Structure 1
Amino acid sequence: MQLRSASTSRLLATLLVVAGGLSCGDATGPEGALAFDVPELRLDAAGTGTVVLSNRGALPVGPVELRSGAVLDAGSASVPGARLTAAPADVPTLAPGQTVTVTVGMDAGTLLQPGEYRAELIARTPDGERRLDVRVTAADLQGFEGASVRFDSGPSDVRQGDVARYVASATDSAGAALSPAAITWSVAPAGAGFVAPDGSLVAYAPGSLTVRAQVGAATAERAVTVQARGLGGQAVRVGEGSVLERHTSDLWVHGEWAYTGTWGQRARNGSIRVGDALHVWSLADPVAPVRVGTLTVDARTVNDVKVRADGQLAVLTHEGSNDGLNGVTVLDLSDPAAPQVLSRYTAGLESGVHNAWIEGDYAYLVVDGVGNGMRVLDLSDPRAPSVVASYWAGSSFLHDVYVRDGLAFLSHWNAGLVVLDVGNGIAGGSPTNPVEVSRLGALNGQTHNAWYWPDAGYVFVGEEDFSSPGYMHVVDVRDLRAPREVATFRVAGTTPHNFWLDEATGVLYLAWYENGLRALDVSGELLGDLERQGREIFGLQYDGVGFGCASADGTCTWAPQLHRGLLYLSDMNNGLVVVRPEL
């Protein structure tokens, strides 16, 4: 069987570990051999330090990835865009008794105000991980004896989760104006909110707080009253199209039809079925999907299916095919109830295709494996498609692609988020000549999926981390050449999967595996920890907890799609679930 992509393999490995009752930190496994030489590392005044990582076991360990957890301030609020760096960042293997010295730094630019900060350095292998606490002190700026500071503007009343801006001015002992960069900002009590170096504040809880501007020993304070965000809503499960013989993967809804893929293998009633099928659903009754057909292909996972905007063409992906060719199958949807195979394209795609996107006459394909990246498939003649372009970021593997407004947003796992011009014009690119516009690597790794919202200038990026709660990262791309992280959202206990944004209302729907469906208010300007701002509208575990993903039952949400006022969810354990959001 062909190897799955690393994220699919990691999901399968995690499920097997849970089923076997082992813990991630089991000292008898290979990961138990990894050890840091100190329990805590304090970085020096320059924000650097070293630590020794060793293999104390009897077997080789690797590959080892060294990644940063979130950087937290004294109130446990994360600092958007701040990350630990590690050199080396990747170790191919550690032999028994072998050590490696890791240089650790803080990549924060001007993001850190004076104070104490902490983060975790994570040494991760395919079998587990080790974590090291890292501490750093950002010192007060010096040389401002006799300075003074005062507030010029900024509100005294704000709403929880909204961004407010404060302006202060400072003078030195001679009365000369100082640069705004001389002013440091803080909020009290610690954890009541987050204030950026430019005086932008987001409050985390209703009540009161104090915004403080400081230059040397001089301070100015403003009392702020915080009103509750006051959101309310729920989601109601209203229907289901049950699939119990196979695990369900991704979905696409178009018109009165839905299409769902299948994943891995599932044992039920004494038989084992693999993910070799695409199911076709009639939504003539929107709350009662009826399976009207199933197309089987040579695959063990049909991870993704995409339908072109005109509803006439679809692409499904192959992984683990028996013939070893994998690739993609192109479908004619002239009769949406009975997709017809037009072609199967495999050249250069033998390692498997994990995800795809169709835009016009081109399909953007995510090819499994480090070094393979993206292929652009010309579908102008869907019976004889051909590859016309390729791209790889130079490290890690590609996991997903999202194309909009002539831009391709690549979720490139540990290489981060990559933006390509594929016809936008910003860098002279086209579908046949993708040109890199920018990339943002500092996203904790495991960059899984992305949704671009051009009107707001944000990209919502998923981090699929099974060993600890993953994050949704908000990346500001109003300057496409200089993306920067501005906010995060997380749900304790497990990791997110795919997203769908209702741009008309500013509500982001997030599939969160065992934690089900989450609805998040992403209207307005975004900053800081969104889960602390009263922005989550609802969370729905519509089938209870069960035994987790890829099991007999229980919630395991793979992907949402909003269609004509209803949310259609692909659920690994249940099939196609229909939910009505009530906001």
Structure 2
Amino acid sequence: MNTRRAALPILLIALAACGDDRAAPQPIVPTSIAASGGTGQTAQTGSPLPTPLTVLVTDATDTPVPDVVVAWAVVDGGGGVPATSLTNSAGLASATFTLGPVVGQQRAQAQVSGLTGSPVVFTATATQEPGGTDLSVVSGGNNVPERFSSDLWVHGNYAYSGTWGFREDEGNTLKVWSLGAAGSPTLVESIIVPEIGTVSDVQVSDDGQLLVLSGEAGTNGGIYLYSLSNPAAPSFLSSALVGEAGVHTVTLSTIDGRLYAFASRNPGFPEEEATDPALLIYDVTDPEAPTLVATEVFPERDYGIHDTFVRDGIAFAFVWDNPGLVIYDVGNGIRGGSPSAPVEISRLITATNGVCCGPSVHNGWWFHNPVTSERRYLFIGQEGAATIGSNSSGDIHVVDVSDLAQPHEVAFFHLNGAGTHNFWMDEERQILYAAYYNGGVVALDVSGTLSGNLSGRLLSQVKPGGTGNTFTWGVQLANGYLYAIDMLSGLWQLTTE
């Protein structure tokens, strides 16, 4: 018998039998559902959340399950969601949640019967749409014809403004304004600061007893402190000088019961560490004897540090293109820092957005939202190329700093034909007011979750001096009005209603 031929049919039969034993593919059985995106958002009543609610459906091995029907429903608040959506190949199903008319928390849910985790409940916060915001001029203006105006600070019934560069006269003057019963500004005093060419920043302490200004463009650059025991006539107390490099801005902040001045020193010459741009921190608790307690140098010399914003023991330094935004613990406790020993937390270079000539990280405001209790957003001004009285450029960049160690940019606002400078916030109403040089003053709705292009959030705009006579440096809310300081046309009183 030919055993080789006999074995062949047996082998074929065996293979066939093996083929019959193979199991058909089993369907994937969903077992769990969980939130994947869209949690914890904020938006105005009646508007859709910026990010869809998303759930993930998986089987017992955590493999995504497609083609599962997810049922959506509103739990409370009176909003709306689609009735159902289908999971895609990644096991994800999404729905747009449009908030109802109720201010506060609103909830929607996703449900697949029988699955672990079902229903998945999403909570969002609905805020009231900002009331009518219509910027318009009340009084003031065309009141500093001999000098370019710079920064502004209002406290009580007085305002204080700086002067910049050279117009008919040098910008070495602090202007003092009385605000009348109706808030209208009247110039009452002009104080010359010797051997400088620009008073570039002004601030008054919270108790109204001390004024500090920064001086640059002269041999006596530095910070200057004045008593406001008579707010109409500031009296000189002391100075901390850095020489010709000068100080561009200065910020006051009380930390652990002591008053500090955070000064932005410009780059000087010759190029060495002693003249590098730097954050200088002075203890000015005794304003007659300011004491330098810390120096943070930026050897990159990329224009230098332009401004600071200090709140809750966190200092934000705005250092142009490189290193951009630098965040320090100066008394908050998260990194053990203090004013005398700042500890760096993180850095970020914001986007250029096609603006000449780089990120140009200029100034900022850390928004503490009283409606949502979030401290999520840092607004950063980008000061691009400009010509006084003619044109300017630069956007507002929105950075998520909910994790101070991992800041990341999430949104921006662009105004065609103009660039931003300093700004102020009405945090209660969730409105940012920004000086926009030749664009005047804008009001921007910053309520809710911010993402992408914020051009649709522009509430109002005004050019206080009119076209050709507007180049607005800064703004401040005070006494129920918005005050604007304009390089060309001086101090203005605006209404926001």
- Return the TM-score normalized by structure 1: 0.61
Which of 137, 160, 169 is the aligned partner of 1:237?
137
Equivalent residues of 2:397, 2:409 under 8 A apart: yes
AA aligned to 1:280 is V
Q: Match of 2:233? A: 338
From the superposition, tell whether residues 572 and 227 of structure 1 become closer, same or farther in structure 2 (CA, over 3 Å): farther
Q: Match of 1:509? A: 433
AA aligned to 1:234 is D
- Structure 1: gaps spanning 5 or more residues: 1-145, 183-207, 267-271, 547-553
1 CA distance for matches of 2:471 and 2:28? 58
Q: Match of 2:492? A: 577
- How far 1:503 moved relative to its partner? 1.0
From the superposition, tell whether residues 462 and 213 of structure 1 become closer, same or farther in structure 2 (CA, over 3 Å): farther
- How far 1:544 moved relative to its partner? 2.0
From the superposition, tell whether residues 349 and 420 of structure 1 become closer, same or farther in structure 2 (CA, over 3 Å): farther
Which of 193, 203, 211 is the aligned partner of 1:306?
203
2 CA distance for matches of 1:161 and 1:513? 33
Q: Match of 1:384? A: 289
From the superposition, tell whether residues 178 and 385 of structure 1 become closer, same or farther in structure 2 (CA, over 3 Å): same
Q: Match of 1:526? A: 450
Which of 302, 320, 328 is the aligned partner of 1:413?
320
The question of 1:167 aligning with 2:54 is answered yes
> Counterparts of 1:111-510 in structure 2 under 5 Å?
159-160=46-47, 162-169=49-56, 177-178=62-63, 215=89, 232-241=132-141, 242-266=143-167, 272-298=168-194, 299-321=196-218, 324-346=219-241, 348-360=242-254, 361-369=259-267, 371-395=276-300, 396=302, 397-414=304-321, 415-444=323-352, 445-454=359-368, 455-457=373-375, 458-466=377-385, 469-510=393-434
Equivalent residues of 2:53, 2:94 under 8 A apart: no
AA aligned to 2:261 is A
Is the partner of 2:146 in helix, strand or coil? coil
AA aligned to 2:155 is H
Equivalent residues of 2:163, 2:198 under 8 A apart: yes
Equivalent residues of 1:240, 1:287 under 8 A apart: no
- Structure 2: gaps spanning 5 or more residues: 1-26, 67-81, 102-127, 269-275, 353-358, 387-391
Structure 1 residues 255-288: Cα deviation after superposition (integer angstroms, max 9, x where no partner): 111000001111xxxxx21101000001133432
1 CA distance for matches of 2:444 and 2:465? 20
2 CA distance for matches of 1:473 and 1:307? 27
From the superposition, tell whether residues 175 and 504 of structure 1 become closer, same or farther in structure 2 (CA, over 3 Å): same
- How far 1:430 moved relative to its partner? 1.0
Equivalent residues of 2:53, 2:96 under 8 A apart: no
Is the partner of 1:265 in helix, strand or coil? coil
1 CA distance for matches of 2:87 and 2:474? 44
Aligned-residue CA RMSD (Å): 3.3
From the superposition, tell whether residues 330 and 529 of structure 1 become closer, same or farther in structure 2 (CA, over 3 Å): same
2 CA distance for matches of 1:247 and 1:567? 20
Equivalent residues of 2:52, 2:97 under 8 A apart: no
- How far 1:472 moved relative to its partner? 0.8
1 CA distance for matches of 2:495 and 2:225? 32
1 CA distance for matches of 2:129 and 2:404? 33
- How far 1:345 moved relative to its partner? 1.7
Structure 1 residues 466-505: Cα deviation after superposition (integer angstroms, max 9, x where no partner): 2784211111112122112121111111210011011111
Equivalent residues of 2:48, 2:97 under 8 A apart: no
Equivalent residues of 1:238, 1:287 under 8 A apart: no
Equivalent residues of 1:147, 1:215 under 8 A apart: no
AA aligned to 1:430 is S
Is the partner of 2:199 in helix, strand or coil? coil
2 CA distance for matches of 1:148 and 1:158? 39
From the superposition, tell whether residues 556 and 220 of structure 1 become closer, same or farther in structure 2 (CA, over 3 Å): same
2 CA distance for matches of 1:400 and 1:354? 7
- How far 1:386 moved relative to its partner? 2.2
Q: Aligned residues: percent identity?
A: 39
2 CA distance for matches of 1:428 and 1:151? 41
- How far 1:225 moved relative to its partner? 7.6
Q: Match of 2:109? A: none
- How far 1:175 moved relative to its partner? 9.0
- How far 1:536 moved relative to its partner? 1.6
Is the partner of 2:496 in helix, strand or coil? strand
Structure with max Cα Rg:
2
- How far 1:333 moved relative to its partner? 0.9
Is the partner of 1:163 in helix, strand or coil? coil
Equivalent residues of 1:158, 1:164 under 8 A apart: no
Equivalent residues of 2:277, 2:298 under 8 A apart: no
Equivalent residues of 1:459, 1:475 under 8 A apart: yes
Is the partner of 1:545 in helix, strand or coil? coil
From the superposition, tell whether residues 222 and 413 of structure 1 become closer, same or farther in structure 2 (CA, over 3 Å): same
Equivalent residues of 2:151, 2:163 under 8 A apart: yes
Is the partner of 1:433 in helix, strand or coil? coil
Q: Match of 2:113? A: none
Aligned length: 389
Equivalent residues of 1:469, 1:493 under 8 A apart: yes
